[in-house]
Amino acid sequence: MPSSAPILVAAINARHSHASMGARCLLANLGELRAQADLAEFTIQQSAAEIAAEIAARSPRILGLGVYIWNVARVAELLPLLRRQTPQTKIVLGGPEITEATAGADVLLFGEGDLAFATLCRDLLAGRATERILRPPPPALAEIQTPYDEYTDDDLAHRLLYVESSRGCAMRCDYCVSANDEAVRYFPMPALLAAFDQLLARGARQFKFCDRSFNLDVPRAVEILAFFRERLPRCPGLFLHFEMLPDRFPAELREALAAFPPRSLQLEIGLQSLNPIVLATIRRPQDLDRAADNLRFLHERTPAWLHVDLIAGLPGETPESFAAGFDRLFALGPHEIQLGILKKLPGAPIARHDDEFAMRYDPAPPYEVRATRDWPAAELARIARAAHWWDAIVASQRFIPAAPLIWRGQPSVLGAFMELADGLGARFPREHGVPLADLVVALFDFLTQVRGIAPADAADALLRGYRHAGARDVPAALAPHAPADLPPPTRGLPKPLRRQFLRWSWEEFARRSCFQVAPDLDWIH
């Protein structure tokens, strides 16, 4: 029977494996009202009707809901349903995607709601009048309760654990809403490390830090790394994810990272562009030579998995300069390149470039750029298509043995991949929902007919990745060329283990078959 607690904090997550830290922050700071509050988590795979029905069945007096770029469309569908099905509920929206024009909400809470939501609930339950739009100042982090006790044991065992050691960002990049942050604020270290120690004691092993620039304060970063490094021997399977600035890896930080064992670290590093003029335009100061040296060191001297971000469509970037930057980055050897498309997030100062650079965006989420002064619409459509197929083929790790054949012998990695993506766009008018077997056949045709790869070599590379992705069949077009020693199908390797193809040969990976039963860290991508 659904709970009838007067306060319901709800989250609509991108997937089940993501546990909402924001919702848990609200719960942790309700004080005496915590016993009168419940948490309900949904995913964007659920329909608005299904979500509305469950919320209405609980009949809360107050509903708190976070609005983000991944769920804003679902929230827009949900609100009118809630108004009809549970009209007595006071709906409070927060999160980066709310606007003053949001219809269907009783209260819009802009900014950090840890303490403000609790105050609002007290007023609403007492029948006191409240403002519709609230803009509380950022709370002092020493005064708020961390949300980690709100994670259940099941959460810790099966879902991604988000944590934070700071809030705010020192960068003022125009494309990011964090450009509006006044300063970086830090959680008090003793209490923070005590909370992490408690999580480890409860069995937590996967930590994704939400800090936007974890290595801004290098001594603090080194202290946190040392804390986890010391506990590794008694916490097998520990895996840490940090987002770090690309040009800030002094010797003490390098030494701390190099001390970790394999398969324990992932670093997300936002280069965004390798064009210094573009970086200056968007107010992202970055020493590119130093960043390149850091990436080489991290790749060669540490066990960290390197996930590096680039953004296509920034003001002043051209298709040619972006391709040159992509190829330069590729040559530095990061394990994963995320090829993103510029988005005009509400409230981000990227809007100041609209006129000078003729920036045109899709008005619907995720608000991607469609044309600029320097990047015609047709070419941006091409790079967006390439980004989709890059994610499906390369970043997904499904085709690690075959992917290098796509650009082998070509002058530009990105140019070679875009040629493939153009062909896939013609072959599959709808990018999503393409069966994996059909994609394998399309890649086989491209490799053999366009790149001139011997059918036996193409089939061998494709089928080894295909079978290790869990497939049991051999597509008919590849059957005549299938190798005799084709490995048996597996249940599908966790993504971090499939990534090891990038450091090991196929044969070495196959010999290390014990990794097929390692813990599933599927959240990392």
Angle, helix 251-258 to helix 218-231, in steps of 10 degrees:
20
Average pLDDT, integer, range 144-161: 93
- Phi/psi for 314 (5° steps) reads -65, 150
Residue 387 covered by a domain: no
User: How does residue 3 score in pLDDT terms, banded at 50, 70 and 90?
Assistant: low
Contacts of 68 (CB under 8 A, 6+ apart): 95, 96, 97
Both 37 and 78 in one domain: the answer is yes
Residue 256 above 50 pLDDT?
Answer: yes
Residue 386 covered by a domain: no
Residue 423 above 50 pLDDT?
Answer: yes
User: How does residue 397 score in pLDDT terms, banded at 50, 70 and 90?
Assistant: confident
Both 171 and 68 in one domain: the answer is no
User: How does residue 263 score in pLDDT terms, banded at 50, 70 and 90?
Assistant: confident
User: How does residue 405 score in pLDDT terms, banded at 50, 70 and 90?
Assistant: very high
> Which of 107, 141, 175 corresponds to the end of one domain?
141
Question: In this predicted structure, what is the pLDDT of residue 391?
Answer: 94
Rounded to whole angstroms, the Cα distance separating 143 from 164 reads: 15
Average pLDDT, integer, range 112-141: 96
Residue 68 covered by a domain: yes
Average pLDDT, integer, range 113-126: 97
Rounded to whole angstroms, the Cα distance separating 39 from 381 reads: 40
Percent with pLDDT over 90 in the chain: 80
- Residue pair 382/422 in contact (Cβ under 8 Å)? The answer is yes
Residue 21 above 60 pLDDT?
Answer: yes
Both 438 and 323 in one domain: the answer is no
- Residue pair 268/307 in contact (Cβ under 8 Å)? The answer is yes
Residue 295 covered by a domain: yes
Residue 515 above 50 pLDDT?
Answer: no
Average pLDDT, integer, range 57-76: 95
Residue 44 covered by a domain: yes
Both 339 and 450 in one domain: the answer is no
> Which of 82, 117, 141 corresponds to the end of one domain?
141
Three-state SS string across 178-217, please? HHHCCCCEECCHHHHHHHHHHHHHCCCCEEEECCCCCCCC
Residue 468 above 60 pLDDT?
Answer: yes
Percent with pLDDT over 70 in the chain: 92
Tokens of 433: 């929902």
Contacts of 289 (CB under 8 A, 6+ apart): none
Question: In this predicted structure, what is the pLDDT of residue 403?
Answer: 92
Both 137 and 88 in one domain: the answer is yes
Structure-derived torsion over alpha carbons of residues 107, 113, 118, 121, reported in degrees to the nearest 10: 10
> Which of 110, 141, 172 corresponds to the end of one domain?
141
Residue 2 above 80 pLDDT?
Answer: no
Tally of domains in the chain: 3
User: How does residue 4 score in pLDDT terms, banded at 50, 70 and 90?
Assistant: confident
User: How does residue 517 score in pLDDT terms, banded at 50, 70 and 90?
Assistant: very low
- Residue pair 96/70 in contact (Cβ under 8 Å)? The answer is no
Both 95 and 169 in one domain: the answer is no
The domain in which residue 105 lies consists of 7-141
Please provide the distance, in angstroms rounded to a whole number, between the alpha carbons at the two ends of the chain. 36
Average pLDDT, the chain: 90
Residue 429 covered by a domain: yes
Average pLDDT, integer, range 508-512: 35
Both 118 and 181 in one domain: the answer is no
CATH number for the domain including 66?
3.40.50.280
Residue 43 region, left (φ>0) first, then alpha (ψ -120 to 50), else beta? beta
Rounded to whole angstroms, the Cα distance separating 524 from 236 reads: 18
Both 248 and 161 in one domain: the answer is yes
Rounded to whole angstroms, the Cα distance separating 195 from 156 reads: 14
pTM value surpassing 0.85:
yes
Question: In this predicted structure, what is the pLDDT of residue 124?
Answer: 97
Question: In this predicted structure, what is the pLDDT of residue 516?
Answer: 29
Rounded to whole angstroms, the Cα distance separating 490 from 472 reads: 8
pLDDT digits (tens, 9 = 90+) for 187-196: 999 999 999 9
Average pLDDT, integer, range 384-411: 92
Cα three-residue angle 18-21-22, rounded to 5 degrees: 120
Question: In this predicted structure, what is the pLDDT of residue 472?
Answer: 83
User: How does residue 521 score in pLDDT terms, banded at 50, 70 and 90?
Assistant: very low
Tokens of 510: 């196959």
Residue 1 above 90 pLDDT?
Answer: no
Sign for the CA dihedral angle at 110, 115, 117, 123 comes to negative
Least confident segment among 249-263, 432-446, 471-485: 471-485
Q: What are the beta bridge partners of residue 267?
A: 242, 306
Both 236 and 328 in one domain: the answer is yes
Residue 389 covered by a domain: no
pLDDT digits (tens, 9 = 90+) for 266-287: 999 999 999 999 999 999 999 9
Rounded to whole angstroms, the Cα distance separating 76 from 48 reads: 9
Residue 363 covered by a domain: no
pLDDT digits (tens, 9 = 90+) for 24-55: 999 999 999 999 999 999 999 999 999 999 99
Task: Label residue 433 exposed, middle or buried (CB < 10 Å: 0-12, 13-18, 19+).
Answer: exposed
Rounded to whole angstroms, the Cα distance separating 412 from 406 reads: 11
Residue 396 above 70 pLDDT?
Answer: yes
Rounded to whole angstroms, the Cα distance separating 482 from 469 reads: 16
Tell me the one-letter amino acid at 32.
Answer: E
Tokens of 248: 């800030």
pLDDT digits (tens, 9 = 90+) for 328-371: 999 998 999 999 999 999 889 999 999 999 999 999 888 999 99
Average pLDDT, integer, range 132-138: 95
Three-state SS string across 90-146, please? EEEEECCCCCCCCCCCCEEECCCCCCHHHHHHHHHHCCCCCCCEECCCCCCHHHCCC
CATH number for the domain including 270?
3.80.30.20
